[in-house]
Copies of this chain bind each other. A is one copy, B any other.
Amino acid sequence: MTSDRRRQILDAALEAFLERGYAATSIADIRARSGASTGSIYHFFSGKGALAEALLREAVSGWATQSMAALDPKATPEQALKSSVRGLVRWAFEHPAQFRFMDEIRSLAPADPDFAAVRSLFEEGRTLGAAQYARMAAEGAVRTLPFSIAHALMLGPAYAYLRTAEALPADQASRIADLFAEAAWQAVKA
């Protein structure tokens, strides 16, 4: 049973990172918001970087879990692709804070030494996606394209949209998820 304090610290940190940005957030901010003492924060996390990493792993694993659940092994390429885009959009609407945080870290990760460990996390995901796309391309289901381009065509719109999106009721969110899923398929289908 992870302690309450730990949870409070993580929640306060996510809140602060979103509101002020990762770099501009100080440990003192997190202390004030969480009610924990400085020492307590360092008792659980070795530093700001470790805190961010823990939050990121939570986010990634939440998304992954949700995506896995939607995965049907007998799905056609079209169904699989659409389901994965829809999954991203829905998850982002349900967890907007985690989505934006993930997005910020992704943009910081290449330059910031705090995130060496995190970089490999992102690359793993990318490698998986690349393999899957290659398989679909080999089957003739999608266009043969470098994965960096294919990835941009499929997920670029969703990412660009979600970065600025307001909260929406579930049914509208769902329609938007469908819209981006359809667009992704149209952009890369063979």
Contact = CB atoms under 8 A, between A and B. Distances in A.
A165 B148 contact: yes
A183 to B, nearest CB: 6
Contacts of A159: 156, 160
Interface residues of A, number: 34
A125 interface: no
B20 A111 contact: yes
Interface string A97-132: 000000110011001100000000000000000000
Contacts of A148: 161, 164-165
7 contacts: A21-B108, A23-B23, A24-B111, A24-B112, A104-B107, A156-B158, A160-B160
